[in-house]
Amino acid sequence: QVQLQESGPGLVKPSETLSLTCTVSGGSISGFYWSWIWQPPGKGLEWIGYIYYNGNTNYNPSLKSRVTMSVDTSNSQFSLRLTSVTPADTAVYYCVRLSGSGQGYFDYWGQGILVAVSS
């Protein structure tokens, strides 16, 4: 059973960079697409972007200028960096796997990590 676990700071100051890591276990990171999705408190879901195991990326245009994703296949991890954060970036961040067939629905989700942006 594939498991994903987010890690990173729960509090980030405005204008700083948010950095999160997702560790994949119970399955291979290779051959799959991996995504980040965020959910502001009490609100809906927004796709941030995905990274393929080979490093190819596709970001949501709404965040593209501030987002960088990377992958470390040797440690079965992928990461998210979001620069110049504001309180509007306060959200639960989920790391997820795109379906095994490579299509853009999400079949495995991490539990999520709440990141607050506040001074």
> What are the tokens at 79?
């990461």
- Nearby residues of 54 by Cβ (< 8 Å), 6 or more positions away: 71
Return the structure tokens found at 7: 């890690």
Q: Which is nearer to another protein, 1 or 16 (CB)?
A: 1
Query: Exposed, middle or buried, 31 (CB in 10 Å: 0-12/13-18/19+)?
Result: exposed
Q: Which positions touch another protein (CB under 8 A)?
A: 44-47, 50, 58, 60-62, 94, 99, 103-107, 109-112
In the complex, the smallest distance separating the C-beta of residue 16 from another protein, rounded to whole angstroms, is 25
Closest to another protein by CB, 3 or 118: 3
- Paired sense of beta strands 18-25 and 77-82, if any: antiparallel
CB of 95 to another protein, least distance (A): 10
Q: From the CB of 14, what's the least distance to another protein, in Å?
A: 25
Residue closer to another protein, measured from CB, 47 or 53: 47
